[in-house]
Amino acid sequence: MKKIAYYLFFLLVFSQMQAQKDFQGMAVYESKTQAPKIDGIRSGNRDITPEMQKTIEERMKQMLEKTFVLNFDKSASIYKEEEKLEAPGQQGGGMRMMMNSMMGGGGTFYKDVKSKSYTVDKEFMGKEFLVTDSLPQLKWKLEAETKLIGGYTCYKATAVKEASKTDFRNFRPKNPDDKKAAKKADETKKTSAETKTNFEDNFEMPKEIAITAWYTPDIPVSQGPENYWGLPGLILEINDGKTVILCSKVVLNAKDKVTIKPSTKGKVVSQKDYDETVIKKMEEFREMNRGRAGGPPMMGR
C-alpha cells in the first residue's frame, strides 16, 4: 500500500509540473489613444481648413485604434498587432510606418520575466532594428479597489513612469497660456512675415506619466500588454490617461500551442540607441516641415 501511495504522490507531482510546463494562454487587447485636438492650429503660415482638420483627425483615429494579441506562458510572452488589410487608395505608407513605430507599434514584442529582458523588432525609415534591453521595473502600488473585466476579478495597481520621447502617444497639447506667452515673445523678435507656426510646435512631451493597471490573480502570470509586467497576475487593462489598452478576450490552454520566442531580424541595438535614431530623424522632419511655407503639417501627409 505504501508503494502505491508513493507512486500516486509522485504521479500527482509530475502531472502538476507537466501542467505548469505546458501552460499557455492568449489575450486579445483593444488599444485606443485619445487624439490631440487640432482646433486653431496653423500649418506653415496658414490656418488648417475644416477639410484638412477632418482628414487629419480621420487618419489619426485610424492610427490610434489598434488590436493586439498577447501569447504567454509562465515566464515569457509575445505581443503583436493584429494585421489588417489597408484601405484601397490609401497612400503615405512610409509616413504611416514611421508614425506606427512612434506610437508603440512595431513587430513582435517579446518579454522574458525571468531574465527581465525584452526584444522587439522594428522597421524605421526602411531599416530593420532589433531592440534588446532590460524590462522597465515600475514601482507598483497595489490597491484594494477591484472590478470585473470579462468575468475576471481584477485589482487596481498604480505607478509613475518616465515618458518615452519616441512614443507619439505621449504628446500633449501645450498649455494655452504658455503658447500665448511664447507667441508674444516671438513676435517681438520677428516680423509677421517671418513668423511661422509649425504643427508639431503646438504639442509637448510630459516628463512623467501616471499609470493605472488592472490585473487578475486568477491568471497567475506576471505578464501584460506592451512592456508592462511585474504584477501578481495577468494585466487586463492599462490606462495612462491618454491611452487605454483593454483585454477583450482570454483563452487558456488552447489545443494549438504558439511558439513563444524573440525575433532575430534586424540590427541589434539598445533602447537608448534606437531612441536617439528616431529623435534625430524626427528633428530632421521638423526642420524640413518648418521650411515649407504654407505646406501641409507633417501629421497630415
User: What pLDDT shows up at residue 290?
Assistant: 63
DSSP string, the chain: -HHHHHHHHHHHHHHHHHHHHH--EEEEEEEEEPPPP-TT-EETTEEPPHHHHHHHHHHHHHHTEEEEEEEE-SSEEEEEEPP-PPPTT---HHHHHHHHHHTT--S-EEEETTTTEEEEEEEETTEEEEEEEEPP----EEEEEEEEETTEEEEEEEEEEEPPTT-GGG-EEPPHHHHHHHHHHHHTTS-TTT----GGGGEE--SEEEEEEEEETTS-----STT---SSSEEEEEE-SSEEEEEEEEEES-SS---------SEEE-HHHHHHHHHHHHHHHHHHHHTSTTPPPGGG-
**Amino acid 201: pLDDT:** 59
- Listed residue (184, 203, 201, 192) closest to 290, CA to CA: 201
Q: What is the pLDDT of residue 41?
A: 55
Q: What is the pLDDT of residue 115?
A: 96
Largest CA distance in the chain: 99
For each successive 10 residues of the chain (301 residues), what is the average pLDDT? 43 38 90 72 60 72 86 96 64 50 69 96 89 95 97 97 77 60 51 45 75 97 96 96 93 91 94 91 76 47 35
**What confidence score (pLDDT) does residue 298 get?**
45
| Domains in the chain: boundaries | 21-300
